[in-house]
A = this chain, B = another copy of it.
Amino acid sequence: MAKLTRYLPILDWGRSYSRSALSNDLIAAVIVTIMLIPQSLAYALLAGLPPEAGIYASIVPILLYAVFGTSRALAVGPVAIVSLMTAAAVGQVAEQGTMGYAAAALTLALLSGAMLLAMGVLRLGFLANFLSHPVIAGFITASGILIATSQVRHILGVEAHGHTLPEILTSLAAHLGQIHLPTAAIGLAALAFLFWARSRLKPTLLRLGLAPGLAGIATKAGPVAAVAGTTALVWALDLGTGGVAIVGDVPQSLPPLTIPDLSPDILQGLLVPALLISVIGFVESISVAQTLAAKNRQRIDPDQELIGLGAANIGAAFSGGYPVTGGFARSVVNFDAGAETPAAGAFTAIGLAIAAVALTPLVYFLPKATLAATIIVAVLGLVDLSILKRTWGYSRADFAAVLATILLTLGAGVEAGVSAGVILSLVLHIYKTARPHVAVLGLVHGTQHFRNVLRHKVETQPGLLMLRIDESLYFANARFLEEMILDHLARDPELRDVVLLCSAVNEIDFSALESLEALNHRLTEQGVGFHLSEVKGPVLDRLGKTHFLDALNGRVFLAHYDAWTALRGTPGTDRAA
């Protein structure tokens, strides 16, 4: 039963579901539903899909997440960055606007869902740790810039394409002569209104006497007002026939049962993008979920979150959607509106289902320029170039990772950017730990303490080299240790004993063990004694399973001071023999 509750968190919160939780969840659901309608349409546009795909992607996934997810406030559905990544990935295997394109988006959701589910069952949530914070920050900022520029064409009513910043800008520049003035007027007006609403609407409403909570929620509804206003305008002036791009016919239907395209070519082409989308989606979702859970001293389980997101994406694949994840904006609205349990998500799904069946005729005249404006305002909030300045001041390695991620995302696309960021983070980490801090030690006079000879006035013995290594020994620094000690050996012909103080060594992996064996062998050949001191219990246990301690030509000292006294003036391996 406990096990079942782990995989089905709904059994946990569902049992104690109260009337007050129900009413709070219902209110939150109404607010989120209204906000999600234009957002879902807009992100479908960004992903290159028909508008209804955005609505469908918000219905079944949100229900499945309510059953399997652990966050009480997370709202799952289409989000900006995953929509952009979907467009980049699916665009490589199918032509936008074709049936194949929509089917490939379903495949991408299925693959991503299967990967997330597998990672959850195998408890591989730690894989998200490969993305360092600077890489994520750089990626989100660059993606925000890419998304915003990609939407400029809808605002201006021109044709323009591209998956990288240079491509998009070149294409926009080439089509600048063909700006459609009525479209541009609507688009720029919507943009101006949304920017104004974001910063000035709330103070204005407060001045007009609205309650602060209500004013906050009304401000979040800015996009709904923009959508309603511009739709009415296009309808009233019949601008649709005048060439303003509108959403047009959206089928009035519940999410259809859809079958993803499982042909080998498509599967193979989408494998790597699906992995990247899974990881990015998971990282985004878990960050949001953790932030919200911590506010109520609640906890979320990352491995179970993987299962929840996996189920949501598989649901999206079979119900006409595309890859989804937990979105920041919608989750915060859900939380602020007072959602108490995942049931709020289920009610939102019902609200959107009603909208899908009954309200789609209302968006027939909705101009695409307005949707583009809502996207631009939303994603510009993601752009934060201050990460460059902050990392520069703190660590050049982190700065290099951010810069590479931003430049590659802008210049070569989302997949190249995030891959390069991950690889560079790892390379820089290996680089740092590959050269650990090593101190040559001497005895502090009158004590039993040993300190770095470069920093302190200490006593040393000729022929006795004492080293302290401030890092676990593993494959990346095994060679360094070997080289460093052999360097000392080559420089000091008088050397007769080497003692390694291991108090900071938390682990010795097999590569490091082999390096120590090789060192012991070479030092023995040269008649130099090789000793260890203050080896931690678990490390010594593991070494005890091998022949290393038998082969060691010197001794293992419990306290480093014992080594100092034992090796005073005695010649290297002669004593050990």
Stretch of A4-12, A37-45, A212-220, A487-495 on the interface side = A487-495
Distance of A407 Cα from B507 Cα, bound (Å): 27
Q: Is A478 an interface residue (CB 8 A)?
A: yes
| A535 to B549 CA separation, bound complex (whole angstroms) | 34
Chain B residue numbers with a CB within 8 Å of A80 are: none
- Check: A565 CB closer than 8 A to any chain B CB: no
Residues of B within 8 A of A295 (CB): 522, 525
* A24, CB-defined interface residue at 8 Å: no
Q: Mark A475-500, 1 if CB is under 8 A from B, else 0.
A: 11111101100110110010000000
Q: For A534, list chain B residues within 8 Å (CB).
A: none
Query: Quick one: copies of this chain in the complex?
Result: 2
Question: Measured between C-beta atoms, what is the minimum distance from A573 to chain B in Å?
Answer: 15
Chain B residues, Cβ within 8 Å of A476: 126, 129-130, 429
Are B132 and A509 interface neighbours, CB within 8 A?
Answer: yes
Chain B residues contacting A480 (CB-CB under 8 Å) are 126, 129
Among candidates B134, B395, B437, residue contacting A542 with C-beta atoms closer than 8 Å: B395
A440-B72 Cα distance, complex, nearest whole Å = 29
Closest-CB distance, A333 to chain B (whole angstroms): 20
> CA of A425 to CA of B511 in the docked complex: distance in angstroms?
11
Q: Which residue of B lies closest to A514 (CB)?
A: B133
A residues 511-565 near B (Cβ < 8 Å) are 511, 513-515, 522, 525-526, 542, 545-546
User: Smallest Cβ distance from A27 to chain B, in angstroms?
Assistant: 24
A253 at the interface (CB under 8 A from B): no
Q: Least Cβ distance of A285 to chain B in Å?
A: 13
Closest to A397 in B: B509
Chain A stretch 418-441: residues in CB contact (< 8 A) with chain B: 425-427, 429-437
Q: Is the interface of A mostly helix, strand, loop or mixed?
A: helix
B299 touches A486 (CB 8 A): yes
Q: Does A52 contact B (CB under 8 A)?
A: no
Alpha-carbon distance between A127 and B430 when the two chains are bound, in angstroms = 8
Residue ID in chain B nearest A125 by CB atoms:
B479
Please state if A489 and B398 are interface contacts (CB–CB under 8 Å): no
Also in contact, A134 and B511, with CB within 8 A (given A479-B128, A483-B302): yes
A129 adjacent to B398 (CB under 8 Å): no
Residue A448, interface by CB 8 Å = no
CB of A131 within 8 A of CB of B475, answer yes
15 sample A-B contacts, Cβ–Cβ < 8 Å, listed by A number? A126-B431, A129-B430, A132-B475, A134-B510, A295-B525, A298-B490, A390-B510, A391-B510, A394-B513, A394-B542, A394-B545, A426-B430, A429-B475, A433-B472, A470-B506
Interface residues of A (CB under 8 A from B): 126-135, 290, 293-295, 297-299, 302, 390-391, 393-395, 397-398, 425-427, 429-437, 470-472, 474-480, 482-483, 486-487, 489-490, 493, 504, 506-507, 509-511, 513-515, 522, 525-526, 542, 545-546
Given contact pairs A299-B487, A395-B542, enumerate 6 new A-B contacts (beta carbons under 8 Å).
Answer: A126-B431, A298-B490, A299-B490, A393-B545, A394-B542, A429-B475
- Top-7 shortest CB links A-B: A132-B475, A133-B511, A398-B510, A129-B476, A299-B490, A132-B511, A294-B522
